[in-house]
Amino acid sequence: VVVVVVVVVTAVVLSNRTDTFKATFIQECERRTPENTSTDCVEVWSAFEQAYVGRDPCQVPPEAYDHLLSVAPPQPACNRMLFWSGTKEVAHQVSEGCYQTMEDSMLGSVLDGMTWCGKEGSNETFTSGCPGWTECVNNPVRSFWSRASAEFAAVACGDAVVLLNGSRDTPFSPTSTFAKIEVQKFKPGKMKSLTVVLVTKDKVVANCENASLNKLKKQLKPGIKYICKEVTESKLIKCKKDHGKSCVVCW
Ligand code: N1C
C-alpha cells in the first residue's frame, strides 16, 4: 500500500509540474498575443515542447527551436530595439514603455527566468534537475536563448542600442550571447546604427576607448554606424523616472 501511495503521489506531483509550466506558458502567451493575430498558443506550446521533450537534456541544439521561432517570430520595433550584456536589470528599467528587449517579445517574456528540460524515454517537461547554463553547451535553456537572440538580432532595424557594463574590464565580452550571436546577426540595410551606452555603477572601469569596444566596432558589418556614449547608472535611472514611459533619450 505504501509503495502504491508513493508511486501515485510522485506521478501526480510530476505531472502537475508539467501541467503548471504548460498552463503558465499558454496563459502568458495568450495574455501577450493580441486577439486579431493568428497565433495559436496551444500550437506555440507544442512547437516549444517538440524542441526538447524525450531528448537527452545535453543534446538539444539551438536549431531544435527553429520551428518554434517560425511559429512565434519576434516582432521588430524599428529604432526601439534594445540589447544588453551584463546590464540586464538596468536595461529593463530603462526600456520600460519604450524600447523593446528580447524579454518584451512573447517568447522572451514567457521564458525569462524559467528552467526546463526533457528526458529520454519520457514525454514530460521537467522544471528542476535540468543541466545548468555551463554544464553542457547544448542544454534546452541555453539553446533557446541562443536561437531566440539570433532571431531577435536578425530582425533589428533602424537605430539600435546596446547597454554594456562600464564597471567591468571588458564590457564587450567575447563569451557573451551579445558578442557571440547578436552582433554577428545584425543586418546592414536593416540596421542603420548601433549606439553603445556604457553604463557605470559607482566605479568607472571602462570608457568608450576600451579595447573590447574597438573590437565591437570592427565586428559590425560595413553600413552599420557605430556610436558610443558613457553614462552613470544613477543618471540613467533618474532621467527615466523624470520622463516616465515616454521615449526620451537619456544618454
Ligand atoms: O550573454 P549576454 O548577457 O550578452 O546576453 C544578453 C543578450 C541580450 O541582448 C538579449 O537579447 O542576449 C539576449 N539574451 C536574453 O534576452 C536573455 N534573457 C535572459 C540572452 N540571455 C538571456 N537571459 C539569461 O541571461 C540567460 O539565461 C543568460 O544566462 C543570461 C545572459 O546574461 P549576460 O551575460 O548579461
Q: What is the pLDDT of residues 207-230, one digit of tens each?
A: 999 999 999 999 999 999 999 999
CA of 83 to the centre of ligand 1 (A): 9
ipTM of this complex prediction, to 2 decimal places: 0.90
Q: Which atom of ligand 1 is nearest to the CA of 142?
A: 27
Nearest CA to ligand 1 atom 17: 145
Please tell me the number of Cα atoms within 13 Å of 238 on its side-chain side.
5
Task: Give the pLDDT of residue 157.
Answer: 98
Q: Which atom of ligand 1 is nearest to the CA of 88?
A: 35
**CA-closest candidate to residue 89, choices 79, 101, 98, 77:** 101
- Beta carbons of 83 and 163 less than 8 angstroms apart: yes
Q: Alpha-carbon distance 47 to 71, whole Å?
A: 7
47-51, 200-204, 205-209, range with the lowest pLDDT: 200-204
Q: Alpha-carbon distance 60 to 246, whole Å?
A: 40
**CA-closest candidate to residue 149, choices 130, 176, 122, 121:** 176
- Beta carbons of 250 and 236 less than 8 angstroms apart: yes
Confidence category of residue 154, pLDDT binned at 50, 70, 90: very high
Average pLDDT over residues 30-52: 91
Q: Alpha-carbon distance 145 to 139, whole Å?
A: 10
CA of 55 to the centre of ligand 1 (A): 24
Task: Give the pLDDT of residue 245.
Answer: 80
Average pLDDT over residues 48-68: 98
- Beta carbons of 179 and 149 less than 8 angstroms apart: no
Average pLDDT over residues 161-186: 98
Higher per-residue pLDDT: 36 or 203: 203
Confidence category of residue 41, pLDDT binned at 50, 70, 90: very high
CA of 66 to the centre of ligand 1 (A): 19
Q: Alpha-carbon distance 159 to 191, whole Å?
A: 6
Confidence category of residue 48, pLDDT binned at 50, 70, 90: very high
pLDDT for residue 10 is more than 70: no
Q: Which three cell numbers stand for residue 153?
A: 538580432
Higher per-residue pLDDT: 247 or 8: 247
Confidence category of residue 199, pLDDT binned at 50, 70, 90: very high
Q: Which three cell numbers stand for residue 249?
A: 533619450
> 242-246 — which CB contacts under 8 Å span 24+ positions?
244/97, 245/96, 245/97, 245/98, 246/97, 246/98
- Beta carbons of 160 and 193 less than 8 angstroms apart: yes
pLDDT for residue 13 is more than 80: no
Task: Give the pLDDT of residue 12.
Answer: 62
Q: Alpha-carbon distance 74 to 80, whole Å?
A: 13
- Beta carbons of 133 and 57 less than 8 angstroms apart: no
Q: Residues lining ligand 1, CB < 6 A?
A: 83-86, 88, 102-103, 108, 112, 133, 145, 149, 152, 176-178, 182
**CA-to-CA separations, 139 to 84, 104, 177, in angstroms, rounded:** 22, 23, 15
Question: Mean pLDDT score of the chain, rounded to an integer?
Answer: 94
